[in-house]
Amino acid sequence: MRLKGLNGAIKTGFNWLRRRELKVLIGVAAISAAIWIFLSIADEVFENDTRAIDEMILLLLRNPNDYSDPLGPGWLEEMGRDFTALGSVGVLSILTLGICVYLFLINRARAALFTLAAIATGWLVSNLLKLAYDRPRPDLFPHESILYTASFPSGHAMMSAVTYLTLAALLTRAVASWRLRSFFLIYALFLTILVGASRVYLGVHWPTDVVAGWTMGAAWAGLCWLTERWLQQRGIVEPAPLMDESSR
């Protein structure tokens, strides 16, 4: 009986380890795929091979009689501005600050510092990439927004992916219910897509800018997730406290 119990415990341990390794392998594969997509788009953009499709998509979203007017009623254009603000530096900074303060208050100071560092370095990478590629903004029609950075990749798209996906990953490690974990990830993806789509709709970014921002932002968020997981396993960063003990 003792031998059977020992064998069962060993088998359970191996299955647990295998599941953990599988998650890491899937994460590495997803990050690699996202970086490859980004580099492929960047290469096409650098060769100016995406100009035709970028222009076609932007013009499809404009009033054919007045390209300065986005397609659709006025309330849709106003909503587009509201959605794009969800990826602005101001909104993302306030959201990140609130989460970090919360982590400090529940005695997760190192987790708060890691979260802050992950998002801040993502912002730095985004700006370095803009400087490196230095792609001009769309020039097919005038913009109402104030634009002071290069176009590729989209900072709104990349930073919304970095911020919302990083925070969603943090929340998924704080709940036991798979339904809540799925909700956090799906909602983070929804917000990220909404922000990027609004940038194209408003005509302040080429579509390829946004796709590149999404892929690089997702890659950065995935890299931060793997790093945090590694640090938590070694006790350097505190594990997230479970908020849903009853769903175990």
For residues 190 and 87, what is the distance between their CA atoms, to the nearest angstrom? 12
Q: What per-residue confidence (pLDDT) applies to 67?
A: 77
**Dihedral, CA atoms, 91, 94, 95, 98, nearest 10 degrees?**
-170
pTM (two decimals): 0.85
- What is the pLDDT at residue 14? 46
Give the percent of the chain with pLDDT over 90.
46
CB 149 within 8 A of CB 130: yes
Asked if the bond preceding 153 is cis, omega within 30° of 0, the reply is yes
Looking at residues 184-188, what average pLDDT do you find? 93
∠ CA 176-234-109, nearest 5°, is 70
Instruction: Report residue 87: phi and psi, to 5°.
Output: -110, 10
- Bigger pLDDT: 172 vs 42: 42
Q: What is the pLDDT of residue 140?
A: 79
Question: 26 vs 21, 179, 186, 232, CA distance in Å?
Answer: 9, 20, 17, 19
In whole angstroms, what is the distance from residue 72 CA to residue 181 CA?
Answer: 35
* Mean pLDDT value across the chain: 84
DSSP states of 230-247: HHHHTTSSPPPPPS-GGG
Stretch among 3-7, 54-58, 127-131 having the lowest mean pLDDT: 3-7
d(CA 79, CA 90): 18
The residue among 81 and 66 whose pLDDT is bigger is 81
Q: Are 241 and 174 in contact (CB under 8 A)?
A: yes
Encoding tokens for residue 15?
């299955």
The answer, yes or no, to whether residue 246 has pLDDT greater than 60, is no
Does the structure show a pLDDT above 90 at 238? no
Among 9-23, 34-48, 127-141, 220-234, whose mean pLDDT is lowest? Answer: 9-23
- pLDDT over 60 (residue 126): yes
**What proportion of the chain, given as a percentage, has pLDDT over 70?**
86
